[in-house]
Amino acid sequence: MSTQSLLERRFRVLGKHSPLFYDKPLQLVRGEGVWLYDAEGKRYLDAYNNVPHVGHCHPRVVDALCRQAHALNTHTRYLDDTVVTYAERLLSTFDKSLSNVFFCCTGTEANELALRIARECTGGQGIISTAHAYHGNSAAVAQISTLFTPPEKRGPFIRTIPVLDPYRERRGRDDETLSTAYAQDVQKAVDDFARNGVKFAGLLICTAFSSEGLPTVPRGYLAKVVKIVHDAGGVFIADEVQAGFGRFGSHMWGHQVLGATPDIVTMGKPMGNGHPLAGVVARADLVEQFTSQNMYFNTFGGNAVSAAVGLAVLDVLQEERLLENARIVGEYVIAGLRKLQTKHALIGDVRGAGLFFAVEIVRDRTTQEPAPAETKRIVNGMRERGVLISRIGIHDNILKIRPPMPFSTGNADLLLKTLDDLMTSL
Ligand SMILES: Cc1ncc(COP(=O)(O)O)c(C=O)c1O
């Protein structure tokens, strides 16, 4: 009853279109590690959220936040040791060429700033993104968030490349051939700008291609793309909002997994474990050029409390060896999902790395026809059975599984068994 009345009150004040997960929305009241608890005390395994990266309400992060909030909270126009120490620690996880950082509060702000730097430093306007991307909600960033912004609302300075779909499009091609073919899509977009007299500024992509469906990117793809972008005078912006902070286990950043170095990197969500902290890391020469012409100040970005929280997140990642955990548990989950694939015909493909998984739900494995209605039933069915996941992809037919980093093999067993039981009952 209380959840129902809260829903009605919410509709009245936030409107009916304010997005909510699940057919039966969840009212969560407490979180701890990988667990969430609803208003009736029911426990849910969180196999979806990457914002509570080191675990919901991690005591170390909460302590750091409280301690700094009790001592002092100022913005970055005063000298503060914690802010500088955090910047140094964060930058040490990148290639040496990426040596300056701006702090802000959301992934949107980070991408907005990255676009401004790219446009200022290249003198161009043209930006390439993918055809099913989400990068944020400001006016400029919404233009490249093609998932929600139709072509007629994107303006004249945006071109898109098709979503990579090796599951359907490999057709016997090896990585070298396939990556060359996919990279040609970027060349075509660059050429289209030139034909229309638009000076090219850069390419901005999520290095997990998360909203696009977490495709297995063919080896060599990103290096080829970055060469095309640089040859055309543009910069490569890596959106690490979903892929970053060790999500893939093997590396700290998605672009490192894909084997290319960006000119600008944006990050957010997991950075503050729920506290609004985001950032832009870039080449020092780009930062110098941009800031010599534009004053950038962000009142709340990188304040002393945020910096203390950010440092605590990095400490926990290291001390609890969470990248290693992501690798080990990730392989266990992939093996389990592949086993389920042999049992359930609806599972067309299983892919992922570290603690980020995609399960393609198809009507028929031969035709690979997407099964969005079944996917929706699975996501809602899992929620009913106490496991939280979501769905992604152009056809809305891909289960998105991306738990907090302390996810254990025991948690994985529960996820796999619940999915197995549910799919058996469909
Ligand atoms: C890849 C990616 N970039 C940027 C954003 C925007 O981040 P925020 O919601 O913090 O503005 C999101 C949010 O979902 C995202 O997934």
> Is the domain of 402 the same as that of 315?
no
What average pLDDT does the chain have?
A: 97
Ligand 1 pocket check: which of 148, 209, 242, 247 to mutate, most ligand atoms within 8 Å of Cβ? 242
Q: What is the mean pLDDT of residues 109-125?
A: 98
Last residue in a domain, options 294, 319, 344 = 319
Q: Are residues 253 and 378 in the same domain?
A: no
Environment class of 421 (CB within 10 Å of its CB; exposed 0-12, middle 13-18, buried 19+): exposed
For residues 398 and 264, membership in a common domain is answered with no
Q: Same structural domain for residues 308 and 333? A: no
- Please name the residue whose Cα sits nearest to atom 12 of ligand 1: 135
Rounded mean pLDDT of 16-42?
96
Residues 215 and 336 in one domain: no
Residue pLDDT, tens place only, 227-285 = 999 999 999 999 999 999 999 999 999 999 999 999 999 999 999 999 999 999 999 99
Q: In terms of domains, do 290 and 204 share one?
A: yes
Q: Does residue 31 have its Cβ closer than 6 Å to ligand 1?
A: no
Whether 206 is in the pocket of ligand 1, judged by its Cβ within 6 Å, is yes
pLDDT at 38 (0 to 100): 95
**Pair 141, 115: CB distance under 8 Å:** yes
Residue 86: pLDDT above 90? yes
| Other CB atoms within 10 Å distance of the CB of residue 222 | 24
Say if ligand 1 is within 6 A of residue 107 CB. yes
Nearest CA to ligand 1 atom 15: 135
| Predicted confidence (pLDDT) per residue in 287-314, tens digit | 999 999 999 999 999 999 999 999 999 9
How many domains does the chain contain in total? 2
Taking the centre of ligand 1 as the mean of its atom positions, its distance from the CA of residue 109, in whole angstroms, is 9
Q: Are residues 281 and 367 in the same domain?
A: no
Same domain (yes/no): 146, 171: yes
Average pLDDT over residues 79-88: 97
Ligand 1 pocket test target in 103, 113, 130, 135 with most atoms within 8 Å of CB: 135
What is the Å distance from ligand 1's center to 149 Cα? 15
Where residue 190 sits, what CATH number does that domain have? 3.40.640.10
426 C-alpha to ligand 1 centroid (Å): 33
Looking at residue 2, what is its pLDDT?
A: 82
pLDDT tens sequence across 147-185: 999 999 999 999 999 999 999 999 999 999 999 999 999
The last residue of one of the domains, among 292, 319, 346, is 319
Mutation probe of ligand 1 site: the residue of 104, 149, 269 with most atoms within 8 A of C-beta: 269
Residues 219 and 75 in one domain: yes
Q: Which residue has the least CA distance to atom 2 on ligand 1?
A: 135
Residues 37, 71, single domain; the answer is: no
Q: Are 225 and 203 in contact (CB under 8 A)?
A: yes
* Domain shared by 294 and 343, yes or no: no
pTM: 0.98
Residue 3 above 90 pLDDT?
no
Segments forming the whole domain that contains residue 268? 59-319
- Band of pLDDT at residue 1, cut at 50, 70 and 90: low
CATH number for the domain spanning 27: value is 3.90.1150.10
Work out the average pLDDT over 367-386. 98
Query: Considering 273, 294, 319, which residue would you say is the last residue of a domain?
Result: 319
Same domain assignment for residues 132 and 175 = yes
Tokens 């991408």 locate to 111
CA distance 158 to 161: 10
